[in-house]
Structure 1
């Protein structure tokens, strides 16, 4: 703290001298790194996504949770689902088709508008790589004022690793009892003596063998993934920095569309059974190419602008298994396959420009944000269908069909452009009171659909600090989430244009820093309401080959509270934990959805909680203990099928040592220590089965 005050005083003195003598002083400020003996890796003080700038979380009138990579590295996390388990307000949905669906405070995150990378909207219809991430920020509640189209539950902002001034070279290998392997290389440093050119690169090769088996040849599901990431920084002048980023992901895996549940919520067949054919696969190729420019215009004003082009193509050869109409016993009645070969092409082009600055007026300090952003979206699909409703029996082998999407036509194509303009002011009235006010205007122009959308999204918050280490806040915010068209081929309303969903939220919360700022405690109470809700329901009796119907009618209201703790409890004990209570309901009156009135959305438990701890036994040995609790959830929109609640316990141990002055780390983790049977996210037709006791072993070398 003393060093920080000295730096601030030095800057203030330089500014005063500049003003006094009218000289044009350079903004080239010496970089000072302050470290301590007990570095707190569990607590992060700011979230860049919450306010579109690095503003202290204590001054942010919003519930935000930051999950640092240090914690997820301890947990040997390999995907975003294993990262977000550290926030109880986030629950998982289906994981079929090698993608991951999430809900925040009971609202599903849309793959096109619920995810950000460094503030850029990222189309996330695949398993996001996490090895490139410095931290993951869970922004809770509507964030449309800053980011435009987004859902009422919140956003996930993934912050990537930055180049380093000093040399960095880490090599890591991890494996598990199934024979999976993952090799990682993380390197960085300066490219010239003046350290004005820096880089960071990450390379990952992963071969995963899953525990579930295909019935046609007893083979296990496998995944082959390669990731390459490069970030370059150039100090063009003392005041201007250019950052160039590129990443490439190739991710191919066999398909597992999940398990089926009977009317009592029990798994049909064995927990190991994969109903897809072993020849079914999905092959994703994702590229991001972007640039960001930061210009420190003056001591008080900064301009940031950036562009990102995401190209995401996917081939999916699908066997598409489903139960026969009215059957819950495929071992007697058999089941259907509906094979097809499909190619999807998504193009996301995003750009933004932000001006941030500080000024004083009428005795009030202002932190201003003025900006604009744009999203240019394209989607096209080519598809060829095979035999429909091909009847087979469990264990029966079906040859790979002779299908090629290139022999089909473009079955769907859509384009739109989204523009947004916003202004935000964080006003510091005195040492105890701050007021946040913001307003945004959005337009979405959808080509050929006649579904243009417009919205004005306000945000208002008040922060009261009764003590230096605590704050109490209230906020009001709105969400605006345009919908596209119904694209599912087994939906009665396929091709129907959908109107935007609108949400608003009231939240009151508090944040406290204890133990000299080492531990942060948070709490929030929220009330979120959404109108024009899109609901997809399974039909009681199929209409032809259509099993589902999508409609828009009625409202949702989600109320609840959450608490959290993150940081150091003692010099040797660290913790990150959270708990949420949620009361989520549909409120409908229209005739076609009246049966949902008072029902709870899928995968929205009343209670959920998590904890992960680190106890440093010595300077070289550390132990971890974790637990995840998820209460009862409904597996269908009619609330007739229940997934039981569960508690999962995890354990870890790490040993640090050195060989010839090279630092090394050996880690053993056991997930689901007591081999608990449980059901994870998904509906009664695509539920994810929780894995049993799972061992992971990792070895890391830091050169």
Structure 2
């Protein structure tokens, strides 16, 4: 309680100092509903279905815009998402997902243009992003099942009426090269029909000792039509065809130390992971003075083929300094239909402005898994002398066990109602409730009702106080001793924070105190296991902490994005241990400065750092991972239609762990299987806009 009080006082003192500053508001300039400084984004967040601004929302929301993403030369969506406070990336689950933990809790969903998908999309193309939005805390109201930590929304590039033609070429020292194209504009005289096309080709030899190069083809055409002044329909498509090395991670020993160089593949260097992903759909938007609506539909078709692998998931044997591997064949397929409807309506009730939002969602996803496993034989790999045997195929293992799952489907329904009430011009109260059903084929349905309440007070035009109570739920497929599916896990959170504008309103600061509890966590029921895995629903996990996020322009030449987060987590069922992969402290910084003072106004320099505190690789807290500090540096040139950038990612070549995927014991010693960060990479790009 003492720590919380100190942090609360710090927030209030910061705000009082800010109030004393004399602020001059500049005339607002709106371009396509977005008012950018360099790193500040004043557009209404697309993940907010209420269409209410960030200042009127009783939640902590960060937006990372395209300008920042391009200046920082970030290559993966996790590098962008991690810029938010109390947010860590823990791996990609064999190339299939981007695993994000936020405010202490894993399983953060990643939305696609404001649509929640049942199946996760991994490694979305950064070049096709307009921005990345992060919302903190439990929030199942607008999107249904979610993590108590928050959610992420990827905003893709959309058709533009203004003529656009941009070509870019990017190279790294891996080596790799990647030509990119972004074109758009009107197709008729009155500009009612307009398009956008974003495309990327990539060849990358990679930084590991794999014999498989990365080859990617990405193309995303979209087309919009203004039916009339109030109705617009937009058709969107994406196609990705990619081949990469397999991604099974490496190991740390019982002391949390990496057991081999991060460049070494511990499965087979000849393995390939092939991914084909197709997305198609449309947005139908209607806008009037007092109401608006949006109907969205997406169809996703995904095939992820690991093919033949010698998978190293049996653990690390410290006495022999080796890993044992076995043959497996894995191919995952899924298709999904996702629909979403949202209606926003302003109504005056008793002379109070009410902004009602009604939303409905429907998802139907199909999935299929081909999985064969053979052990014996086992293939030992001694890390002091890496000798890889030839990669085998399914034909070489006639006794392989078929562990495949037939095609099955899951249906999700959801509906919610929210009202934002202006009690005064400066005081806004919000309340909402949602009902969801999840229906797996040939299994028991899960349902949940989740409320949310919030209060926003505009203390001054530059200072906003907010507080909220919100809930989340996550269905589970785990069964109890009677074969009954357990109830969904539920999260509930409390938050108080301040949103502050600085430096002539071109700079945003958000600071929050939060406390979250997750219950109904499924834990192993050892008393009734009978040799099989059965679960009981009694687990409770908690997190509480403090965070600070800021972004924007300090001067016309100096832009910055930074964050700091502190979180304390506890697993009530395991001796109040800390939750796996969650550091107490995280911090991020990226800044650029135009060299106008040196009479070089077309040049800028920049750099940044990311700090990940120490954390545990297992639930028993017996394996601790070291903290890490990763530096980046950049120099760039912008003049007219030309832009060039040279950057170094992980400047000091820090060897660090992103997160642990599982753990166990072999040879009398504990181990954890982990994913590691990318080593030092030199990256150069040049672009020209016609």
Alignment TM class, shorter chain as reference: 0.7 to 0.9
Q: Shift in Å at residue 141 of structure 1?
A: 0.9
CA–CA separation in structure 2 for the residues paired with 1:231 and 1:446: 33
Q: Measure how far apart 1:320 and its partner are.
A: 4.7
- Under a length normalisation based on structure 1, what TM-score does the superposition of the two structures give? 0.86
For 1:540-579, what per-residue CA distance to the aligned partner results, in whole angstroms no more than 9, with x for missing partners?
xxx99x9x99875411101011011110111111111111
* Pairing partner for 1:444 from 428, 438, 441: 438
Give the aligned partner of residue 21 of structure 1.
Answer: none
Match of 1:469 among 462, 470, 474: 462
**2:614 matched residue in structure 1:** 632
Partner of 2:193: 197
Describe the SS at the equivalent of 1:51. Answer: coil
Q: Return closer, same or farther for 1:692/1:496 CA change in 2, 3 Å cut-off.
A: farther
1:277 matches 2:275: no
User: Which residue of structure 2 lines up, in the alignment, with residue 90 of structure 1?
Assistant: 87
What is the deviation of 1:299? 1.5
Moved more, 518-527 or 46-55: 46-55
**What is the alpha-carbon distance in structure 2 between the residues aligned to residue 144 and residue 691 of structure 1?**
33
Q: How many residues align?
A: 641
Contiguous gaps of at least 5 residues in structure 2: 1-24, 662-670
Query: Counterpart of 2:299?
Result: 309
Aligned to 2:476, the other structure's residue is in SS state coil
Could you tell me which residue of structure 1 aligns to residue 110 of structure 2? Answer: 115
Q: Does 1:702 align with 2:672?
A: no
Give the match for residue 5 of structure 2. none
Determine which of 565, 575, 595 is the counterpart of 1:580.
565
Is the Cα contact below 8 Å between 2:33 and 2:43 reproduced in 1? no
Match of 1:423 in 2: 417
Residue 335 of structure 1: how far off its partner (Å): 2.9
Partner of 1:560: 545
Unaligned runs of 5+ in 1: 6-30, 487-491, 589-595
Deviation of 1:472 (Å):
0.5
**Residue 528 and residue 484 in structure 1: after superposition, are their counterparts in 2 closer, same or farther (change >3 A)?**
same
Corresponding position: 1:222 with 2:187: no
Residues in 1 aligned to 2:44 and 2:190: alpha-carbon distance in whole angstroms = 30
Structure 2 equivalent of residue 348 of structure 1: 336
Aligned residue for 2:207, secondary structure, equals strand
Indicate conservation of the 8 Å contact 2:469/2:493, yes or no. yes
Question: Structure 2-normalised TM-score?
Answer: 0.87
Residue 246 of structure 1: CA displacement? 0.6
Does residue 1:169 correspond to 2:162, yes or no?
A: no
Alignment partner of 1:681 is 2:659 = yes
Cα distance change on mapping 1:312 and 1:330 into 2, 3 Å: farther
Q: Which of 113, 130, 137 pairs up with 1:134?
A: 130
Distance 1:295 1:308, change over 3 A: same
Cα RMSD of the aligned pairs, angstroms, is 2.8
Q: Which segment is superposed worse, 366-375 or 384-393?
A: 384-393
Q: Cα distance, 1:46 vs. partner?
A: 3.9
Retained in 1: the 8 A contact 2:308–2:393?
Answer: no
TM-aligned CA distance change 1:328 to 1:318, over 3 Å: farther
Query: CA 1:183–1:516 in structure 2 vs 1: closer, same or farther (change >3 Å)?
Result: same
What are the Cα deviations for residues 206-248 of structure 1, in whole angstroms up to 9, with x where unaligned? Answer: 122222224xxxx4x5321111101111011221110111101
Structure 1 position 650, deviation (Å)? 1.0
The one-character-per-residue Cα deviations of 1:253-302 (angstroms, maximum 9, x if unpaired) are 11131121111111112332210102222211111111111123x42111
Aligned to 2:224: 233
8 Å CA contact retained: 1:49, 1:139: no
How does 1:351-500 map onto structure 2 within 5 Å? Answer: 351-388=339-376, 390-394=378-382, 395-403=386-394, 410-449=404-443, 451-484=444-477, 497-500=485-488
Stretch of structure 1 that moved more, 576-585 or 301-310:
301-310
Alignment match, 2:250: 259
For the 8 Å contact 2:222–2:237, the answer to whether it is kept is yes
Looking at structure 2, the residues matched to 44 and 32 of structure 1 have their Cα atoms a distance apart, in angstroms, of: 12
Distance 2:619 2:33 in 1: 53
Query: How many Å separate the matches in 2 of 1:179 and 1:420?
Result: 47
